[in-house]
């Protein structure tokens, strides 16, 4: 080609993230009136009521920039997790924090390790830095933590671990994770992405913030987009050593979390009733869907998240057939899982409609 501005090579070769199809888009395309979206692991109960109330009061102040230090939300997090203010970074969603990690820790000379079938953003933020991504083969669809240790080289700077993982729903328990953390050299940052942690039962929850003092190279990422029901507000946070947090803050946009997000997330954090009911709705829905799948003869990967990876044969054909019935699920061929679809657990009637639609596809 003749003269035209050229982006850096890593960007021209990057496969962009493919988000779930919005309801409004399918409405425009098919003119269907009743559409359900089970494609982006959003909370089918919607917004935390406490968050909704808190946001209503924030409208009057929208003419001003948000608090760039996010004092209100950080204080709520300090109260909740018993950490220090300096151990917290806020993000425009936790994806923002994953991006900050890559910008602060990865360059053309370095490598990041992540699992096969792990959350797609890890590979994207790594490649966007022109850094080398090292994808470690999965073990029964989950992270092979020992394999990830074996993959460490002198160039490794970051290891991404999603727990539970999206799109597989697989989970590593405390024993395995602690053994892993002990083996990772302390010069390497371990990013523990716990986007779905709130869906674990209280007995299963890791309370990984307890490990921060022992492992100064640990960064825990969490989000308000899933169980808290605030995906549209874009708020996530990271917990880690003050020095790590300081470096991330240097590349952070000063007002990356908006005013409504700060207030809504702070309120949602203590909406324990909402979180509990989200977990209950999810547990019941997971049972409803998996029993339905058993009945229909579909296999699936047992999931600790609010979604399930189902083996349908031709994932793309099922995705399209379900769209025609007004149901949006997630094709996962971009994860090299072309035989599967990923379905978010919905409300009982949505799950029922999904199972009925699935049964009709030949
Ligand atoms: C949904 C998700 C996130 C969170 O994304 P946000 O940017 O906070 O909305 C992070 N990690 C994983 C594994 C996810 O599935």
For a ligand 1 pocket test, name from 41, 224, 225 the mutation site with the most ligand atoms within 8 angstroms of its C-beta. 225
Contact indicator for 115, 261 with CB cutoff of 8 Å: no
For a ligand 1 pocket test, name from 89, 121, 220, 345 the mutation site with the most ligand atoms within 8 angstroms of its C-beta. 121
Ligand 1 first shell, C-beta below 6 A: 41, 93-95, 119, 162, 166, 193, 195, 223, 225-226, 231, 236
- Ligand 1, atom 2, lies closest to the CA of 195
Query: pLDDT 10s per residue in the chain (362 long)?
Result: 568 888 999 999 998 888 888 888 888 888 887 899 999 999 999 999 999 999 997 888 999 999 999 999 999 999 999 999 999 999 999 999 999 999 999 999 999 999 999 999 999 999 999 999 999 999 999 999 999 999 999 999 999 999 999 999 999 999 999 999 999 999 999 999 999 999 999 999 999 999 999 999 999 999 999 999 999 999 999 999 999 999 999 999 999 999 999 999 999 999 999 999 999 999 999 999 999 999 999 999 999 999 999 999 999 999 999 999 999 999 999 999 999 999 999 999 999 999 999 999 97
In three-state form (DSSP H/G/I as H, E/B as E, the rest C), the secondary structure along 149-196 is HHCCCCCEEEEEEECCCCCCCCCCCHHHHHHHHHHCCCCCEEEEECCC
CA of 235 to the centre of ligand 1 (A): 10
Instruction: List helix spans (H) across 63-140.
Output: 71-81, 94-105, 121-128
- The distance of Cα 333 from the centroid of its chain, to the nearest Å, equals 18
């Amino acid at each position: 080609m003749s003269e035209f501005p050229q982006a850096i090579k890593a960007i021209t070769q990057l496969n962009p993230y493919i988000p779930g199809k919005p309801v409004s888009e399918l409405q425009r395309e098919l003119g269907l009136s009743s559409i359900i979206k089970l494609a982006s692991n959003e909370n089918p109960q919607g917004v935390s009521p406490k968050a909704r109330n808190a946001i209503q009061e924030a409208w009057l102040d929208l003419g001003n920039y948000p608090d760039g230090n996010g004092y209100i939300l950080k204080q709520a997090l300090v109260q909740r997790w018993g950490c220090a203010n300096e151990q917290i970074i806020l993000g425009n969603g936790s994806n923002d924090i994953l991006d900050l990690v890559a910008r602060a820790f990865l360059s053309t000379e370095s490598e990041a390790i992540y699992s096969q079938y792990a959350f797609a953003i890890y590979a994207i933020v790594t490649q966007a830095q022109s850094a080398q991504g090292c994808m470690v083969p999965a073990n029964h669809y989950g992270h092979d933590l020992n394999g990830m240790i074996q993959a460490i080289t002198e160039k490794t700077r970051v290891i991404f671990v999603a727990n539970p993982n999206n799109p597989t729903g697989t989970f590593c328990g405390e024993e395995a994770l602690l053994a892993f953390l002990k083996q990772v050299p302390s010069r390497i940052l371990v990013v523990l992405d716990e986007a779905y942690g709130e869906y674990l039962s209280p007995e299963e929850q890791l309370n990984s913030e307890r490990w921060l003092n022992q492992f100064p190279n640990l960064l825990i990422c969490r989000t308000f987009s899933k169980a808290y029901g605030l995906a549209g507000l874009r708020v996530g946070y990271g917990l880690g050593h003050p020095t790590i947090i300081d470096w991330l803050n240097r590349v952070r946009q000063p007002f990356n979390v908006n005013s409504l997000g700060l207030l809504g997330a702070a309120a949602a954090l203590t909406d324990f009733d909402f979180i509990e009911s989200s977990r209950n709705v999810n547990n019941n829905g997971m049972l409803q869907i998996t029993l339905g799948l058993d009945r229909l003869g579909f296999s699936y990967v047992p999931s600790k998240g609010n979604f399930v990876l189902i083996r349908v044969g031709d994932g793309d054909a099922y995705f399209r057939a379900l769209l025609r019935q007004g149901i949006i699920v997630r094709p996962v061929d971009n994860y090299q899982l072309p035989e599967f679809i990923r379905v978010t657990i919905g409300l009982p009637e949505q799950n029922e409609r999904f199972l009925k639609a699935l049964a009709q596809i030949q």
